[in-house]
Amino acid sequence: MGGNGREKDHASELRSIFSLKKIADAVNGYEEAKYVVFGIPFDNTSSYRRGSKYAPDSIRGAYVNLESYEYSYGIDLLASGMADLGDMEESEDVEYVIDTVESVVSAVMSDGKIPIMLGGEHSITVGAVRALPKDVDLVIVDAHSDFRSSYMGNKYNHACVTRRALDLLGEGRITSIGIRSVSREEFEDPDFRKVSFISSFDVKKNGIDKYIEEVDRKSRRVYISVDMDGIDPAYAPAVGTPEPFGLADTDVRRLIERLSYKAVGFDIVEFSPLYDNGNTSMLAAKLLQVFIASREKYYKEHI
Amino acid sequence: MGGNGREKDHASELRSIFSLKKIADAVNGYEEAKYVVFGIPFDNTSSYRRGSKYAPDSIRGAYVNLESYEYSYGIDLLASGMADLGDMEESEDVEYVIDTVESVVSAVMSDGKIPIMLGGEHSITVGAVRALPKDVDLVIVDAHSDFRSSYMGNKYNHACVTRRALDLLGEGRITSIGIRSVSREEFEDPDFRKVSFISSFDVKKNGIDKYIEEVDRKSRRVYISVDMDGIDPAYAPAVGTPEPFGLADTDVRRLIERLSYKAVGFDIVEFSPLYDNGNTSMLAAKLLQVFIASREKYYKEHI
Amino acid sequence: MGGNGREKDHASELRSIFSLKKIADAVNGYEEAKYVVFGIPFDNTSSYRRGSKYAPDSIRGAYVNLESYEYSYGIDLLASGMADLGDMEESEDVEYVIDTVESVVSAVMSDGKIPIMLGGEHSITVGAVRALPKDVDLVIVDAHSDFRSSYMGNKYNHACVTRRALDLLGEGRITSIGIRSVSREEFEDPDFRKVSFISSFDVKKNGIDKYIEEVDRKSRRVYISVDMDGIDPAYAPAVGTPEPFGLADTDVRRLIERLSYKAVGFDIVEFSPLYDNGNTSMLAAKLLQVFIASREKYYKEHI
Amino acid sequence: MGGNGREKDHASELRSIFSLKKIADAVNGYEEAKYVVFGIPFDNTSSYRRGSKYAPDSIRGAYVNLESYEYSYGIDLLASGMADLGDMEESEDVEYVIDTVESVVSAVMSDGKIPIMLGGEHSITVGAVRALPKDVDLVIVDAHSDFRSSYMGNKYNHACVTRRALDLLGEGRITSIGIRSVSREEFEDPDFRKVSFISSFDVKKNGIDKYIEEVDRKSRRVYISVDMDGIDPAYAPAVGTPEPFGLADTDVRRLIERLSYKAVGFDIVEFSPLYDNGNTSMLAAKLLQVFIASREKYYKEHI
Amino acid sequence: MGGNGREKDHASELRSIFSLKKIADAVNGYEEAKYVVFGIPFDNTSSYRRGSKYAPDSIRGAYVNLESYEYSYGIDLLASGMADLGDMEESEDVEYVIDTVESVVSAVMSDGKIPIMLGGEHSITVGAVRALPKDVDLVIVDAHSDFRSSYMGNKYNHACVTRRALDLLGEGRITSIGIRSVSREEFEDPDFRKVSFISSFDVKKNGIDKYIEEVDRKSRRVYISVDMDGIDPAYAPAVGTPEPFGLADTDVRRLIERLSYKAVGFDIVEFSPLYDNGNTSMLAAKLLQVFIASREKYYKEHI
Amino acid sequence: MGGNGREKDHASELRSIFSLKKIADAVNGYEEAKYVVFGIPFDNTSSYRRGSKYAPDSIRGAYVNLESYEYSYGIDLLASGMADLGDMEESEDVEYVIDTVESVVSAVMSDGKIPIMLGGEHSITVGAVRALPKDVDLVIVDAHSDFRSSYMGNKYNHACVTRRALDLLGEGRITSIGIRSVSREEFEDPDFRKVSFISSFDVKKNGIDKYIEEVDRKSRRVYISVDMDGIDPAYAPAVGTPEPFGLADTDVRRLIERLSYKAVGFDIVEFSPLYDNGNTSMLAAKLLQVFIASREKYYKEHI
Ligand SMILES: [Mn+2]
Ligand SMILES: [Mn+2]
Ligand SMILES: [Mn+2]
Ligand SMILES: [Mn+2]
Ligand SMILES: [Mn+2]
Ligand SMILES: [Mn+2]
Ligand SMILES: [Mn+2]
Ligand SMILES: [Mn+2]
Ligand SMILES: [Mn+2]
Ligand SMILES: [Mn+2]
Ligand SMILES: [Mn+2]
Ligand SMILES: [Mn+2]
């Protein structure tokens, strides 16, 4: 570890040794990346079991234990063009956070890249939806309809995400899968039927493929938002409110692998590491791999 | 918060502000209620992982996180007539506890209401069975046959519940579903075949509907007792002895939803919050909702 | 369990069997009680490890394991006149909660009784302070100065409690013991010196008795507020932010036992059962016993 | 507790009272046993979540809670001829441990008995494979291909087990089921196709029976090695690296029950009690029972 | 690993490789041992947080991590003559267990050895006391007076140990240190003053040495029984009922080190691994070392 | 969020929004920093409870909850000149890791800055010691003498750190405080007396100040290495092997605050977040603050 006359100190040598933690396969800089991962450590509107703001770091930590090569898809993530921007600075102001997410998703998409957002709670998805081009529909995995007009006096509460998305996208543009908890006020809202809510019971009865195909037929492009509580708590215990009777982990994997080819963005939200046994962080990290690897596989085979 | 000349102190005003914890939707008093919830914090005959005496409070705590509206059945629990009596005072005397349960279940049923008992361990179900009218059969969910004549010198041990029920109800009146652990002595007991024991393996092979239909055909009315260890420990980890290869959570939901219309009583037992990750309490609370909501839906549609 | 012609149903008989959970020694009704316990399950302004809203029930649960007889003071808690009102209904509105606490503490004190409030977070103490008679000083146990003017845009945040108390009580009326975390903005506030802040390091150096005596000399009557994070996290791990180098558990016991005789009210706040190993709930329950038993002992000996 | 003149001390009387912990049904000495259980507390090449060296004791502890009678197979384990040798003394030297395992498995098999090895990490299986007679094939349950030539400079690392087994057994002799994590270097290794790797996705699609039958057709005798991470982490959370999308617990039960009749040995590895909620130890203990009971049932029916 | 013509199988060779888990330094057989360790896995009369029956194995597991050499005393435990007999077979019958303990302690002492009993709950100490020679006094470390005549209808409940010991030993023969929880009925029992109860508050005020010296002066020989709940829960969290304000870990170490030279037996009870973070098992293992090492040091220096 | 003609993409705008996690007060770049924090996520020679490689991130996470202003010292950490370089890339090769640490510590010191290293296990300190100028002595806090010549065939095992440091620094240059576990082989090594080993028992008896003063008198400059297991496990439970009877948290704080003014470097090692309840990470973060704040205070007052 030498040095030479031109250098005042060892800063650059040290920089080559150390780095702050990134997703393990995120070896690209922003400029050359195709997939741009970033974390939004925000959980301020959550009322019960908080902690989703710790999720980005927990997912990065779990990801280290995955192979870079995604065997099922034959794709090497190391060669797929991932960058990791790190996390947004924490803020308690939900509107500021959503505005920032909007700016970021817009910027990333306008640079021709795919944003992959690690929440944080579900309310941040509203920012991403605001940034979507006109022809992009929304696919949500969730246990909850998130269809309240406002909650605790806040229209940006995580219980209002799908309602806000409807305001932005309009009727027939949103599919929300895994639903098994809806309040009376939400169910009786005349606008409720403007979203295609698919219950986990329907998925168990008819299979996930039926619903994937409906989306595939109707939507030219999609943004996919995975609220981890859509998945059954046997597979994803570390969520705010574990709701029994959820989707199988393989149902959600299937949905992502089938629709990633027309996805312009992706997020994973509502995972709270404070309640984890190690399974939820691994599943979240793996779903991120599934998204990229299945998408890369499609374009390798079709182009 | 005023006060007036007639009142000695602020007792009544304070009573309007405070209340001890009830099941969240239990907004009715006993007199006007249709469903009467009560807790029996007793786990004294349990030999391995105790703690089921903490279950009633844990279920009440989890229930807070559920919607009052049961979306799958279209039923508002708030409007379904639930009362919560609280918990019986703790006692270490199993016979006294069982006698008390018998009195309580008798009283509630003679008032034309449905008792919903939150255990505590399974031995308390013997008290409920004693109180059943002659035409009511027993449906049990359990990993264990609970068919010992006596255990550790105690014929009211929780390992003897089904045997005691057979003494009371006689052959052909009991169905116990989810069985996967039976001792040699139980299996070789000539009376073993007087109960319809359905193993979890049979349910996995043939589907739960086949066995629900058998009960439905043969029994005019039923009492349903859910030992949480009947369910697979992936869904219900917080039980005394987690037994692998159990029933799916959705199997038990299906059984309850299909038979609640002819049920005169219901209990949930053997859940020990000391070992929970939050999933078991939510599942128990949800099964209680499923019982009431599916029953209410039936009578709304059929009357 | 009979019944007679005059009674329509078994409601009153059932009421004699069941009850919702109270502090175990709270065998008195409000009217005949001297000490009135109630819970305020509110933790909405807490930003890090939440969960103090679960504290009242956890303390009630731990209390069951204590003897009714307080051996060190020779006092039988069962005979000391405790009532337990239960918990206030949950609300997310900090101002409404503080207003309600003010009403309740006023009512209880005007009935000649001692309010014992189980939080919930520290912000609720502001309500109690508003209700104090003019000659009552405030004694706080805390790791934090809680002296921000406002925090996250909220002047009733739990980080502002002592500041709000100073607004109400004025200079020289507040002693806050155990302090070891103060922000620069707080420390440089000219009003900071209007409160007597005693650091945990000073207590370790000089002994707690020196500071107890200062309070005892200067204050005719006191209200005691125990933020559990004042105590070292080795003894009280289940707090929002464990701060190293805290007060010994015996220091806080000593402070309570020496000042209870001139106390008109008492609270225990900022304990979050979500992070407990069982030690914090037991310590909180025990400090409640210490407060009553030491106070009863004083009056037994001095009157 | 007498004594007599010939005895110097009470050693033999005390020996009849005490014993060090064995698998509960292991009531036979080595000489009369048919199944010989032993533990290899070794986890030294594991890089992530260690602790598999505590597994033998944890499995013994869980086994106590199982019935001796295996109801599904109608077999009494107490009468099946189990011995438990205890654990090998701990060593950090992987080659020494593997050599010892080879000696032990050879010795047990040459005495006409079935070795049942409780790991410890997967690397110990290499010792067992070395001891196999020429006509015995290998069946592995695993999430990982374990096919690295060497890992961290060690060819006996637990990530190389299947590669080492291939060196010993040759092409077409190994089936590894449950695979869902393979590195690029492993996948592109020309020898990779010499092992029959069956992914968990193939099992979910085609059913486990298809693959069991393939093994059954092609292999005259087998050794079965169960890496607990082959099973889905919902059922077996306590493994080094929980990999989502795994085999159902019942798939692995089925595989064992169908192939035990031609098994000459069995092991359970990679279970780390440090991360358990009680489910993984019970499942491991139960799979051990399934192996013996299904094998005993077969020979009872066929001989 | 050879073999020869005279040997039918490999039993003896295998025995040289494997062994069931013993205390790590227990390298002696019973016959040549000076200190005889054994476990009594019994916790059947415990009513709250059970699990002390798992303590012997947990202590053996923790002991592995200690040095054999006890640096503070300059003693090598490996050379001190320890044997480990393993555990008594589990029984639910408290009287049978106590009778067995009596037999064992008698046998060990009549062979001129020192029994070291690992509980299990405190009730087993009654068996040891019955076996004591006439001139041996009892020294107890405990948070509780354990002085009930009977509890839950059982005079051998763990809450009655000291009372039973008084029945056997008579007035002035028992010292119980660390007391801070006594029921009214116990305190008012006229026999209460026949035991020397020293509260933890007295120890904190006067120092442990004062009380050690009192015992040392009055007793020619002692049996030492350490209920782990005597120690403060900050040091020993894994006990049935954590009682705040307990003895320092170093107080108990001091007591053992000062009195071991006149001890004829020693036990550690009421540690429940189910609630441990790893500290309590290490402390229990270390106190066992302290007992032997300090005793050995004394006799090395004085003989 | 505009953009202009000169910019190809939004990279720089996004960089202003996101950052990877640093110590919260590390707002300086390397060039302008006085204190340079970096993490060494290495725990490969640890044999029992691993996980110290997760410590740097856990300390960064806990630090967020501390005030930037250190009230006890009147120092604002935000203004103290901290930089955080992030973590070294993981490697399993202990010699490579130690070599890298040597290079880094040399570089930082030659730039006139103070290195603050977050381990990882204790073996990394050897790299720092190699980089020390000739007049710098070593002060260690540890429960263990770490004085083995080699361990498991590795002279750079974490059990050999102090021995390696003696090789480098020579007799009379090392003080190791908190010692309570030493093997016989270490104790009888003739070189053992070339290090000043101070046991925790001596510190409890004589006070920490006596030993601080000895170091202060004899050493012109020091490097301070804190093995978290030197502190009592009541305060720092999350270490590899919790050793009872350790140093008080305030003893270690005192040592750091008194010697920081002559320190040229500092490290915190052997903290394993896998076993934490939140207390150990907070204590480690706080000790880092104590080091900088007390040092800054000294130079503010003395220059
Ligand atoms: Mn959502
Ligand atoms: Mn949701
Ligand atoms: Mn049962
Ligand atoms: Mn059962
Ligand atoms: Mn506070
Ligand atoms: Mn505070
Ligand atoms: Mn493997
Ligand atoms: Mn594997
Ligand atoms: Mn005791
Ligand atoms: Mn006790
Ligand atoms: Mn060290
Ligand atoms: Mn150490």
How far apart are the C-alpha atoms of A220 and A218, rounded to whole Å? 7
ipTM value? 0.87
| Per-residue confidence (pLDDT) for residue F48, from 0 to 100 | 66
Whether F237 and F277 have beta carbons less than 8 Å apart is answered as yes
Residue D122 known to bind ligand: yes
| Per-residue confidence (pLDDT) for residue A48, from 0 to 100 | 66
Kind and range of the H or E element at B99?
helix B94-110
Contact C92 A152 (CB under 8 A): yes
Q: Which residues in chain B have their CB less than 8 angstroms from residue A187's CB?
A: 69, 71, 74
**In chain A, what is the straight-line distance between the N-terminal and C-terminal CA atoms, in Å?**
46
| Per-residue confidence (pLDDT) for residue C2, from 0 to 100 | 39
How far apart are the C-alpha atoms of C271 and C120, rounded to whole Å? 7
| Per-residue confidence (pLDDT) for residue A221, from 0 to 100 | 98
Whether D233 and D242 have beta carbons less than 8 Å apart is answered as yes
| Per-residue confidence (pLDDT) for residue D181, from 0 to 100 | 96
Identify the closest residue of chain E to B154 by CA–CA distance: E92
CA nearest neighbour of C272 among C251, C232, C248, C241: C241
Contact D18 E38 (CB under 8 A): yes
What are the backbone dihedrals phi and psi of residue E210, each rounded to the nearest 5 degrees, phi first?
Answer: -55, -45
Q: Which residues in chain E have their CB less than 8 angstroms from residue F158's CB?
A: none
| Per-residue confidence (pLDDT) for residue A7, from 0 to 100 | 53
| Per-residue confidence (pLDDT) for residue C274, from 0 to 100 | 82
**Is D268 exposed, middle or buried, given 0-12, 13-18 or 19+ CB atoms closer than 10 A?**
buried
**Is pLDDT above 80 for A295?**
yes
How far apart are the C-alpha atoms of A294 and A300, rounded to whole Å? 10
pLDDT digits (tens, 9 = 90+) for B212-239: 999 999 999 999 999 999 999 999 999 9
pLDDT digits (tens, 9 = 90+) for D148-171: 999 877 899 999 999 999 999 999
**In chain F, what is the straight-line distance between the N-terminal and C-terminal CA atoms, in Å?**
47
Residue D140 DSSP class: E
Cα–Cα separations (whole angstroms), residue A182 to A146, B171, D144, E98: 8, 43, 40, 58
Considering only residues A73 and F3, tell me which one the structure prediction assigns the higher pLDDT.
Answer: A73
Considering only residues E51 and B164, tell me which one the structure prediction assigns the higher pLDDT.
Answer: B164
Strand, helix or coil at E115? strand
Answer whether B touches D (≥3 Cβ pairs < 8 Å).
yes
Ligand 4 mean position to B239 CA, how many Å? 8
How far apart are the C-alpha atoms of C295 and C293, rounded to whole Å? 5
Which amino acid would we find at residue C261? Y
Dihedral over Cα of C195, C201, C202, C208: its sign: positive
pLDDT band at C245 (very low <50, low <70, confident <90, very high): very high
How far apart are the C-alpha atoms of D269 and D265, rounded to whole Å? 13
How far apart are the C-alpha atoms of B251 and A245, rounded to whole Å? 10
Q: How far is E65 from chain F (nearest CA, A)?
A: 7
pLDDT digits (tens, 9 = 90+) for D28-72: 999 999 999 999 999 888 766 778 888 998 999 899 889 999 999
| Per-residue confidence (pLDDT) for residue B241, from 0 to 100 | 86
How far apart are the C-alpha atoms of B173 and A277, rounded to whole Å? 42
pLDDT digits (tens, 9 = 90+) for D91-116: 888 999 999 999 999 999 999 999 99
**Is pLDDT above 60 for C185?**
yes
pLDDT digits (tens, 9 = 90+) for C258-277: 999 999 999 999 999 888 88
How far apart are the C-alpha atoms of A160 and B136, rounded to whole Å? 46
How far apart are the C-alpha atoms of F152 and F48, rounded to whole Å? 13
| Per-residue confidence (pLDDT) for residue A275, from 0 to 100 | 86
Answer whether D touches C (≥3 Cβ pairs < 8 Å).
no
Beta-ladder partners of D224:
D139, D266
Whether B36 and B108 have beta carbons less than 8 Å apart is answered as yes
Q: What b/e string do you get for D179-190 counting C-beta neighbours within 10 Å, with b at 16 or more?
A: bbbbbbebbebe
Q: What b/e string do you get for F219-234 counting C-beta neighbours within 10 Å, with b at 16 or more?
A: bebbbbbbbbbbbbbb
**Minimum mean pLDDT among C20-24, C165-169, D1-5: which range?**
D1-5
For the residues E24-43, what does the mean pLDDT come to?
A: 93
Answer whether B touches F (≥3 Cβ pairs < 8 Å).
no
Q: Which of D59, D65, D76, D235 to mutate to test the interface with B (most CBs of B within 10 A)?
A: D65
Of C183, C201, C277, the CB nearest to F67: C183
Whether C21 and B20 have beta carbons less than 8 Å apart is answered as yes
Identify the closest residue of chain E to C68 by CA–CA distance: E183
| Per-residue confidence (pLDDT) for residue C303, from 0 to 100 | 79
| Per-residue confidence (pLDDT) for residue E48, from 0 to 100 | 66
Cα–Cα separations (whole angstroms), residue B20 to A88, B211, B281, C89, C102: 43, 41, 19, 9, 20
Locate the DSSP E strands across chain A.
18-19, 35-40, 69-70, 75-76, 82-88, 114-119, 136-141, 174-179, 196-199, 221-227, 263-269
Mean pLDDT of all residues belonging to chain F: 93
Residue that is written with structure tokens 């000169």 in the block: F6
Ligand 6 mean position to C260 CA, how many Å? 21
Residue that is written with structure tokens 């442990």 in the block: E208
Strand, helix or coil at C166? helix
Whether D195 and D159 have beta carbons less than 8 Å apart is answered as no
Which amino acid would we find at residue B141? V
For the residues E83-106, what does the mean pLDDT come to?
A: 92
pLDDT digits (tens, 9 = 90+) for F24-52: 899 899 999 999 999 999 988 876 677 88
C245 touches chain E (CB under 8 A): no
| Per-residue confidence (pLDDT) for residue B89, from 0 to 100 | 86
Ligand 2 mean position to B57 CA, how many Å? 25
How far apart are the C-alpha atoms of E122 and E225, rounded to whole Å? 9
CA nearest neighbour of C254 among C121, C142, C141, C120: C141
Contacts with F, A 16-75, CB within 8 Å: 17-22, 29-31, 36, 38-39, 54, 57, 61, 64
**Is pLDDT above 60 for E104?**
yes
How far apart are the C-alpha atoms of A146 and A124, rounded to whole Å? 13
pLDDT digits (tens, 9 = 90+) for A179-199: 999 999 999 999 999 999 999
pLDDT digits (tens, 9 = 90+) for F97-120: 999 999 999 999 999 999 999 999
**Is pLDDT above 50 for E6?**
no
The alpha-helical segments, DSSP class H, found in C6-66 are: 11-17, 55-63
Tokens of E214: 């009192």
Q: Which of B8, B18, B36, B105 to mutate to test the interface with C (most CBs of C within 10 A)?
A: B18
Tokens of C179: 């302090």
| Per-residue confidence (pLDDT) for residue C91, from 0 to 100 | 86
How far apart are the C-alpha atoms of E54 and D65, rounded to whole Å? 13
Which amino acid would we find at residue D128? A
Whether A21 and F87 have beta carbons less than 8 Å apart is answered as yes
Whether B176 and B262 have beta carbons less than 8 Å apart is answered as no
Q: What is the DSSP string of A177-207?
A: EEE-B--HHHHT-GGGGGSEEEEHHHHHHH-
Whether B243 and B270 have beta carbons less than 8 Å apart is answered as no
**Is pLDDT above 50 for F5?**
no
Contacts with C, A 77-96, CB within 8 Å: 92
pLDDT digits (tens, 9 = 90+) for B47-69: 667 788 889 989 998 998 899 99
For the residues D173-185, what does the mean pLDDT come to?
A: 97
| Per-residue confidence (pLDDT) for residue F228, from 0 to 100 | 98
Cα–Cα separations (whole angstroms), residue D63 to A281, D42, D289, E51, E103: 30, 21, 9, 16, 29
Considering only residues A5 and E182, tell me which one the structure prediction assigns the higher pLDDT.
Answer: E182
Tokens of B265: 């009583």
| Per-residue confidence (pLDDT) for residue E17, from 0 to 100 | 79
Whether F248 and F232 have beta carbons less than 8 Å apart is answered as yes
Strand, helix or coil at D231? strand
How far apart are the C-alpha atoms of E24 and E34, rounded to whole Å? 16
Whether D162 and D145 have beta carbons less than 8 Å apart is answered as yes
How far apart are the C-alpha atoms of C246 and F17, rounded to whole Å? 37
How far apart are the C-alpha atoms of D37 and D266, rounded to whole Å? 9
Residue ranges and CATH numbers for the domains of chain E are: 26-302 (3.40.800.10)
What are the backbone dihedrals phi and psi of residue E139, each rounded to the nearest 5 degrees, phi first?
Answer: -120, 125
How far apart are the C-alpha atoms of F40 and F124, rounded to whole Å? 8
Residue that is written with structure tokens 């030279």 in the block: E261
